[in-house]
């Protein structure tokens, strides 16, 4: 009976090991069940977040399209203003060149001598003073006022 007793002891040891293993397995299964519940909650929260994100995409697209349209309008307005400013600069340059030419022409005209206007003429009367050429000055004022009018019209058109 020695071998029967040895087999019983071996079976008892194996049963004890199986019981220990079953207890460990049971605790791990309980942890897995708890984690599964947490995992299910996490998956549900993730699904909710995904649904909210998908619902927000059309709103985001509309906002981007509106922002793009607004930006395009501003770009077109800026280009129009740029063209107007370029035109005004060209006009100002041409007017400055004309003004410079007028100033040079005025400087180039001979000035009457300071005593020439008060010198008596042959009949004992004093000669009338030479009339200053006011036409160049009037033209500058006409050009300047015309340019100012054009500038005001352009600024009002932009508004």
Q: What is the pLDDT along the chain (159 residues), one digit of tens a residue?
A: 688 999 999 999 999 999 999 999 999 999 888 888 888 999 999 999 999 999 999 999 999 999 999 999 999 999 999 999 999 999 998 888 888 888 888 778 766 555 554 444 444 444 444 444 444 444 544 555 777 777 778 777 776
Asked whether the CA dihedral 16, 18, 10, 5 is positive or negative, the reply is positive
DSSP state of 117: T
Q: What is the dihedral of CA 16, 17, 23, 25, to 10 degrees?
A: -160
The Cα–Cα gap between 159 and 150 comes to 14
The Cα–Cα gap between 105 and 140 comes to 13
Give residue limits of the domains in the chain. Answer: 2-101+135-158
CA distances from 85 to 2, 75, 97, 127, 156 (A): 116, 15, 18, 51, 13
């Amino acid at each position: 009976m020695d071998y029967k007793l040895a087999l019983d002891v071996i079976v008892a040891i194996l049963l004890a090991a199986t019981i220990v293993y079953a207890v460990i397995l049971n605790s791990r299964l309980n942890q897995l069940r708890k984690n599964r519940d947490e995992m299910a909650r996490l998956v549900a929260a993730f699904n909710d977040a995904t649904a909210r994100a998908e619902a927000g995409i059309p709103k985001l697209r509309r906002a981007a399209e509106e922002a793009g349209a607004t930006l395009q309008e501003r770009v077109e307005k800026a280009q129009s203003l740029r063209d107007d400013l370029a035109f005004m600069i060209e006009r100002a340059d041409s007017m400055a060149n004309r003004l410079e030419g007028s100033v040079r022409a005025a400087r180039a005209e001979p000035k009457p001598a300071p005593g020439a206007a008060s010198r008596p003429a042959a009949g004992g009367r004093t000669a009338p003073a030479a009339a200053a050429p006011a036409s160049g000055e009037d033209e500058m004022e006409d050009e300047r006022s015309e340019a100012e009018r054009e500038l005001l019209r352009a600024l009002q058109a932009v508004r």
